[in-house]
Structure 1
Amino acid sequence: MSLVNNTQDDSILSLGIAGMTPGVEALVSSGQLEPLEYLMRHLQGDWGDLCEEDRQTNADALIYGNRVLSSYNLPDGQCLWIITEANRSITTLLLPEEY
């Protein structure tokens, strides 16, 4: 399922085409997750609940064109990952167990 195919003026990376895995789609369909809130955070460089080493990896990825990962702890205790591929062609919202 495609969510967005553009970027906002305040984004720090290109999104490409955004999509979600079946697990995330189930959370969205049941009203347990609003994906755009997390997608916008990802695009603005709010990587969520990452350790300092992973934050530095993302900072380097912005310079060298590598994959970017965000991780958000959801209110229900689940975790949401957002991954933008190195070539910035696609961004995927997924649950860790779907990786």
Structure 2
Amino acid sequence: MSLASTARPLPRFASGRIFATPAVVDALMGTGISIDDLVGRHVRGDWGDLSEADRQQNERSVATDRRIVSCYVLSGALTVWLITESDRSATTILLPGEY
């Protein structure tokens, strides 16, 4: 197996400071999924459970410095959103009802 086949994709944009709401922190406890795991997926361009139109918008947003949104449906139907600001100063992790 070559090194290239085992390497993880590089981040496509900066996450900035990471913020998570208390509800997300509580919801993730016991799932085995960390905030770092979610941010890693997000910055590598794994947009999660988005429509094709939203995926395409994220691709344009990476190139044009606009807001980027990912949505992950996790165990137990828990849905988590990650939103990176257009200036890449911050990424916020929250539950959809908190938006």
Question: TM-score, normalization: structure 1?
Answer: 0.85
In the alignment, the residues of structure 2 paired with residue 50 and residue 92 of structure 1 have an alpha-carbon distance, to the nearest angstrom, of 17
1:30-45 → structure 2 map (5 Å cutoff): 30-32=29-31, 33-45=33-45
Letter in 1 for 2:86: A
Percent same amino acid among aligned pairs?
Answer: 39
Name 1:98's counterpart in structure 2.
Answer: 98
Question: TM-score, normalization: structure 2?
Answer: 0.85
In the alignment, the residues of structure 2 paired with residue 38 and residue 47 of structure 1 have an alpha-carbon distance, to the nearest angstrom, of 10
Stretches (4+) displaced over 2 A: 30-33
Name 2:69's counterpart in structure 1.
Answer: 69
| C-alpha contact (below 8 Å) 2:85/2:91 kept by paired residues | yes
| C-alpha contact (below 8 Å) 2:61/2:68 kept by paired residues | yes
More helix per residue? 2
Cα displacement (A) at 1:23: 0.8
Matched, 1:10 2:13: no
